[in-house]
Amino acid sequence: MAVTEDRRRIAIRLTVLQVGCVVVFAALGISFWLLQIVQHARFEEMAANNHQRTLALRAPRGILYDRNGQVLVENRHSFTISLVREHTKDLDRTIRLLSAVAGLDPNDVKAIVARHRNEPTYRPVVIVDDASLAQVAAITARRLDFELPDIVVEEVPTRQYPPLAAHLFGYVGEVNDAMVLSDDTLKSGDLVGQAGIEKIYNALLMGEDGAKRVVVNSLGREIRTLDEEPPTEGKRLQLTIDYDVQKAVEDGFRASQDAHLTNAGAAVILDPNTGEVLAFASEPAYDPNAFAAGIDRATWASLTTDEQHPLNDRAIQGRYSPGSTFKMAVALAGLEEGIITPDFQVHCVGGANFYGRTFKCWKKGGHGTIDLRHAIEQSCDVYFYTVGNMVGVDKINKWAEVLGLGVKSGIDLPNEVTGLVPSTQWKREKMNDKWYAGETISVAIGQGQVSVTPVSMAVYMATLANGGTRVTPHLLKAVDEGNGWKPAPAPAPQSKVDLNPEKLQAIRDGLWMVVNAGGTGGRARIPNGEVAGKTGSSQVISNEGRVAAGRTTKDLRDNGWFVFFAPRDHPQIAGVVFLEHGIHGANAAGIAHHILDTYFAKQQGRPLPPPPTPAGLHFDFSDPYARAGAPAVETN
């Protein structure tokens, strides 16, 4: 009976196990049903995220052309080395290995990664912009060995700038968080214009990034492309710049630098009839290419700590005393207000007394009896002291503004500053003080409170040249939206006053005589060019101050101006050359000569003049104040 008992027990226990197995398998089946049917959509998406990557294809920025269709700024291909943290198992190891392979400082790499730590991990963090071929080769070899599966090398279009007009073009850089928040067309990691044309016309130049959807394996290696949406290149822009004129400007500055005269200054050359900017320069400049592929700390530090502030765009952000170049504004105020006529004469004995104080003329012994034309030609200070005193500061202010001084030019570049032509109202409001008539005397020769930007000086000359239309300087000539060049509408003039042609002609004659008769601007003379211009030099420190400063490394020499237009009667070109510490306006006139020579040679189909040599420009290094007993000032 024990056997049957046994059998029964076995049978019961086997049944229990049978039922148990069925139950467990049913449970398994239900589990799979929950995963595969109920939650299928969720897991399918997770699987897709696993093996599909959307890679951004960076759009090339729009190419910049000069007015004749010559390429100014284009794009080249460069390689970036990026880290995709999603595939990183051991970040420290990756950083160590990457740094060793690519020759980087691990701390720099760590800092870069830390900066991007809040971004989604699938987005590549660019570690090296514009990697060298050696770096690319080294990384690629390691990737093939599966040692750096989280590092990707991508080919991206990168801005390439010519070695000129840095401040005009500006530069590009990675968008900052604040910009991303305020502009929903931008996303983190985008490259946007940070200065110059690149900044102002960023929306046109930027283009639209494309995307590529690829299948990757668990090591992040791309297996195949699913679909690709190609990037849309940024719009091509044609600038008003004339490459040859621009180059002439830059060559002129280079000669000044090579001659150790000065390496700082600015120039703006306009078409006085339209306001088109033919050339635009600020020195010293920087290399925008250094920014194009992500500027390194050392370069950035050297740019920001440089005493000469190379990042500062002197043409629109520098404020300088105009000196004698301001005299035409005083003359115009006298003429237009009917206070003087072109024949108005002043007797200059080398100085004059106003309000109990003696104001000297630059020429010892004086100019004798002199009319407006000759007063401009000779830059007689006493003449303009007298006229200025008659006109008064408020009328000088009014007419200077008509000519574009003391106001913004409205040029299409970011962060233009305003110069200053004082007035009684200005003094009352800003200094809470009344205007003293004696102050007007200094203003009349462009000293005292008067300050101007180089670009406003170019507008000033253009307005004198075109008869009273204060044109708006602008850089954009045409835009190609993909279906050919479409001219960009020229901005409206800032103001338009019909100046009396006869009175204006007297000023123009005087300017012509500066260059073509006995004036200080003879170096700007062009055969048959009919150049009209005016030199100016302005002190950066008082005579007494300069003596007190003694031997200093700081450059205290005068600034040199040359403003011009040509030809006198039908002006096609107007502009300004400014040399910071260039000592004499005549030195600037030498550079202007090369610019004008180039311009007219091109107009007339002559071969362009070769770049000037330092010797060829005959720079005048004689320092008038050094002669006057002050210790020699070191230059550098």
Partner 1 sequence: MFERRLYYHIDWAMLAGIVALCAIGLAQIFSATGGFSLFYNTQIYGIVLGLFAMGLCLTIDYRSLADKSHWIYLAVLVALMYVLFFGAVRGGSRRWIDFGVANLKANLQPSEFAKAALALVLAKFFGESRRGAIGREDLAIAGALTAVPLILIARQPDLGTAVTLIPVGFAIAYVAGMPMRIIGVLALVGVLVAPVAWKFALKDYQRERISTFLDPAQDAKGAGYQQIQARITVGSGGLWGKGFTKGTQGQLRFLPVAHNDFIFSVLAEEQGFAGVLVTLGLYLFVILRALEAARLAKDRLGAYLVMGVLASFTFQVIYNIAMSAGLLPVKGLTLPLMSYGGSSMVATLAAFGLILNVRMRRFTN
- List residues near partner 1 by CB under 8 A: 2, 5-6, 9-11, 13-14, 17-18, 21-22, 24-25, 28-29, 31-33, 35-37, 39-40, 42-44, 46-48, 50-51, 89, 215-219, 223
Instruction: Find the shortest distance in angstroms from Cβ 224 to partner 1.
Output: 11
Instruction: Find the shortest distance in angstroms from Cβ 14 to partner 1.
Output: 5
Neighbours of 241 (CB within 10 A): 28
Residue 180: exposed, middle, or buried by beta-carbon count in 10 A (0-12, 13-18, 19+)?
middle
Q: 464 — phi, psi (to 5°)?
A: -65, -35
Q: By C-beta, is 113 or 490 nearer to partner 1? A: 113
Q: By C-beta, is 13 or 486 nearer to partner 1? A: 13
Instruction: Find the shortest distance in angstroms from Cβ 34 to partner 1.
Output: 9
Query: CA angle, corner 216, sides to 214 and 218, nearest 5?
Result: 165
Rounded CA-CA distance 381/360 in Å is: 7
Residue 181: exposed, middle, or buried by beta-carbon count in 10 A (0-12, 13-18, 19+)?
exposed
With CA atoms as reference, report the closest residue to 152 among 113, 125, 118. 125
With CA atoms as reference, report the closest residue to 355 among 383, 389, 329. 389
Q: 534 — phi, psi (to 5°)?
A: -150, 135
For residue 336 the two structure tokens come to 């237009």
Q: 253 — phi, psi (to 5°)?
A: -65, -35
Instruction: Find the shortest distance in angstroms from Cβ 89 to partner 1.
Output: 6
Q: By C-beta, is 43 or 621 nearer to partner 1? A: 43
Q: By C-beta, is 24 or 111 nearer to partner 1? A: 24
Rounded CA-CA distance 422/427 in Å is: 7
Q: By C-beta, is 28 or 615 nearer to partner 1? A: 28
Q: By C-beta, is 2 or 632 nearer to partner 1? A: 2
Q: By C-beta, is 4 or 432 nearer to partner 1? A: 4
Instruction: Find the shortest distance in angstroms from Cβ 101 to partner 1.
Output: 23
The residue behind tokens 């284009």 is 74
DSSP annotation of 121 reads: T
Instruction: Find the shortest distance in angstroms from Cβ 125 to partner 1.
Output: 17
Instruction: Find the shortest distance in angstroms from Cβ 81 to partner 1.
Output: 22
Instruction: Find the shortest distance in angstroms from Cβ 149 to partner 1.
Output: 11
The dihedral over CA atoms of 293, 298, 300, 305, expressed in degrees to the nearest 10, equals -170
Q: By C-beta, is 45 or 306 nearer to partner 1? A: 45
Rounded CA-CA distance 213/368 in Å is: 83
Write out the E strands in 461-614. Answer: 469-470, 476-480, 485-487, 495-496, 532-538, 559-566, 573-579
Instruction: Find the shortest distance in angstroms from Cβ 74 to partner 1.
Output: 39
Instruction: Find the shortest distance in angstroms from Cβ 26 to partner 1.
Output: 9
Neighbours of 351 (CB within 10 A): 16
The residue behind tokens 């401040």 is 167
Q: By C-beta, is 111 or 219 nearer to partner 1? A: 219
Q: By C-beta, is 10 or 628 nearer to partner 1? A: 10
Q: By C-beta, is 45 or 229 nearer to partner 1? A: 45
Per-residue DSSP letters for 282-328? EES---HHHHHT---HHHHHHHHH-TT-TTS-HHHH--B--GGGGHH
Q: By C-beta, is 11 or 144 nearer to partner 1? A: 11
Neighbouring residues of 573: CB distance < 8 A, sequence distance ≥ 6: 269, 270, 271, 272, 278, 565, 566, 596, 599
Instruction: Find the shortest distance in angstroms from Cβ 15 to partner 1.
Output: 9
With CA atoms as reference, report the closest residue to 473 among 64, 200, 164. 200
Residue 550 C-alpha from the chain's centroid:
35
Rounded CA-CA distance 474/489 in Å is: 10
Answer whether 333's CB lies under 8 Å from 395's CB: yes
Q: By C-beta, is 10 or 492 nearer to partner 1? A: 10
Instruction: Find the shortest distance in angstroms from Cβ 106 to partner 1.
Output: 21
Instruction: Find the shortest distance in angstroms from Cβ 189 to partner 1.
Output: 24
- Bond into 567 cis (ω within 30): yes
